[in-house]
Amino acid sequence: MADKRYTIAEAAAIMGTCERTVKRAIEKGKIEAVKEEGRYGPQWFITELPGNFKGALINPGAVKAKAVEKAKTKPVTRADLDAILAEIHEIKDAQQTMLQRVGQANNVKPRPAPKKAKPKRQVKDRGERLEYAEQLIKDDPAITNTDIQAQIKARFGHGIRAENLIELRKGGKK
């Protein structure tokens, strides 16, 4: 490995870590590297990868050889197979649960859009309300504006402006 030079990204991929971890290891002196002019300016080149790094080389032959070596050291028993099978069933059950949750999430009804404020409607019965107020004043000149408003609201659902009542009391229509 000494004759090959690796970039930080390549070393991270080989060691099974992130690029930042490789940079920290270089800064601490755990990995030998030189800073040279690279394609995009100064760049670190790793000259030798440590032999005790976490993770395996990305080399299928080496991984397979390690698996075969590990299998040789300990015989597989029925209990080991049962444990592996139980773990597989747990994983499948967890997948099914997740799929059901996703399915339920997809079936959730969307929230209704917020209600828009009702635009102020033009009141068509303004004339009727004014006539009714005028009639109330004629029937009982001592009636208070509060009582007139209460009766108009009871009959039409909303009152009239105070200025209009004052105008009616003076004798004119507005």
Is residue 37 scored above 80 in pLDDT? yes
In a domain, 64, yes or no: yes
95 and 65 co-located in one domain: yes
Using the predicted structure, report yes or no on whether residue 137 has a pLDDT greater than 60: yes
User: Is residue 121 a part of any domain in this protein?
Assistant: no
Q: Examine the domain organization and report whether 66 and 40 are in the same domain.
A: no
The more confidently predicted of residues 120 and 24 is 24
* Residue 163 within any structural domain of the chain: yes
Domain identity same for 72 and 50 = no
Give a yes or no: residue 76 inside a domain.
yes
Confidence of residue 53 (pLDDT cuts 50, 70, 90): low
Measure the CA–CA gap between 129 and 173, rounded to whole angstroms: 12
- 65 and 92 co-located in one domain: yes
Three-state DSSP class for residue 47:
strand
Residues 50 and 17 in one domain: yes
- What pLDDT sits at residue 74? 67
> Looking at the structure, do residues 47 and 79 belong to the same domain, yes or no?
no
* 3-state DSSP of 101-146: HHHHHHHCCCCCCCCCCCCCCCCCCHHHHHHHHHHHHHHCCCCCHH
Mean pLDDT for the stretch of residues 26-33: 86
Residue 118 lies in a domain: no
* pLDDT of the residue at 55: 42
Tell whether 16 and 52 lie within a shared domain: yes
Mean predicted confidence (pLDDT) in 141-157 = 86
Residues 54 and 65 in one domain: no
Q: Are residues 71 and 47 in the same domain?
A: no
- Indicate the SS3 state at residue 42: strand
**Above 70 in pLDDT, residue 157?**
yes
Q: Name which residue leads in pLDDT, 11 or 68.
A: 11
The number of folded domains in the chain is 3
Please give the mean pLDDT across all residues of the chain.
76
Q: Tell me the residue range of the domain where 14 lies.
A: 8-58
Same domain, 53 and 22: yes
pTM of the entire predicted model? 0.30
In a domain, 146, yes or no: yes
